[in-house]
């Protein structure tokens, strides 16, 4: 499988996104070789314990479709979970963790960030468009 992907990748060598594709392929190849007990030659940040990555794709899709979300979240200082109407605008990875930035309509906070971690306990699409 990796060999076929490498051949396909060579066809796009001069494309502006080539380096990112090549990086992803190298990571996949390294993981495949590790399964065959090969010597590890690539080390990169990876957080296997990271729980919030399951929300990455649904939030990404919500941003693309300009979809408002209902977020259930419990902050470090909070005793109970809170439910917010949230207008997501951008996803950012920082220090091996993902964050979503947007407008918290419930609290009227225009620049609110939510870490995609165990404190984010629920997410559902609402039938309204992002402001």
> 48: pLDDT confidence band, cut at 50, 70 and 90?
low
Q: What is the mean pLDDT of the chain?
A: 81
What average pLDDT does the segment 17-37 reach? 71
Integer CA distances (angstroms), 92 to 70, 116, 124, in order: 19, 10, 20
Q: How far apart are CA 82 and CA 71, in angstroms?
A: 8
- Of residues 116 and 97, which shows the higher confidence score? 116
Nearest-10 crossing angle of helices 2-10, 18-35: 160
Phi, psi of 71 (to 5 degrees): -110, 135
Q: How far apart are CA 86 and CA 79, in angstroms?
A: 21
Looking at residue 67, what is its pLDDT? 95
Q: Are 74 and 121 in contact (CB under 8 A)?
A: yes
What is the residue extent of each domain of the chain?
Answer: 2-35, 52-129
Query: Residues of the chain with pLDDT > 70: what percent?
Result: 73
């Amino acid at each position: 499988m990796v060999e076929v992907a490498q051949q396909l990748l060579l066809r796009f060598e001069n494309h502006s996104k080539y380096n990112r594709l090549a990086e992803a392929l190298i990571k996949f190849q390294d993981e495949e070789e590790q399964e065959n007990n090969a010597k590890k030659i690539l080390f990169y940040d990876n957080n296997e314990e990271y729980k919030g990555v399951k929300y990455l794709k649904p939030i990404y899709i919500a941003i693309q479709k300009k979809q408002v979300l209902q977020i259930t979240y419990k902050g470090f200082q909070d005793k109970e979970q809170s439910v917010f109407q949230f207008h997501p605008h951008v996803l950012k990875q920082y220090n091996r963790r993902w964050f979503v930035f947007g407008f918290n309509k419930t609290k009227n906070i225009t620049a609110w960030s939510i870490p995609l971690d165990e404190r984010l306990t629920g997410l559902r699409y609402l039938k309204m468009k992002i402001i």
